[in-house]
Structure 1
Amino acid sequence: MSESTTFDLPIAGMTCASCAGRVERALSKVAGASAVSVNLATELARVQAPEGSLPALKQAVEQAGYSVPVHTLELNIEGMTCASCVGRVERA
């Protein structure tokens, strides 16, 4: 069984408490999802789910009629000189 992790998903398109409830129900149906909470004011959903569940969570939100904005972040890390350094950064 894979380890569980907490996902904080930004949700776009929610306008009322009914929307938040709809998103919460959709996320609760994802296999392995638990401790689902959706905050309308912050437009954020927090879900406890197995690692690797992000695509299924995103799909559930989209099928409910909302979207999960995706942001890409590129970090420049100085001082890495060997493969061991890379491994340490990946595990951090």
Structure 2
Amino acid sequence: MTIIINEGVNMTAYNKKFELSIKDVDLIERSIRFQISYLAQTEAGAKTQESIENHNKIIELMNVLSTFHNQKIWYGQAHHTSVPLG
């Protein structure tokens, strides 16, 4: 493996383009939902510091799920006029 470092390139920049398969995205979504479910079990009890932190984590994870949802391209059955049915 060869690593090339260019002096003028910011090496701490984020990769803004990911190539994930549908299976990868599905696995990520299911994992996030599982984590939300787990956190919700402890969040449902008395209002302790842990339950408040879990609630905040749930909100954060729900925001990630909504980002996935909003970036999906949804295909539906189209009418012969190319206008979606519904």
Structure in which a larger fraction of residues adopt helix: 2
Is TM (by shorter chain) over 0.5? no
Say which one has the larger Rg. 2
Q: TM-score, length-normalised on structure 2? A: 0.24
Structure in which a larger fraction of residues adopt strand: 1
RCO (CA 8 Å, sep 6+): is it higher in 1 or 2? 1
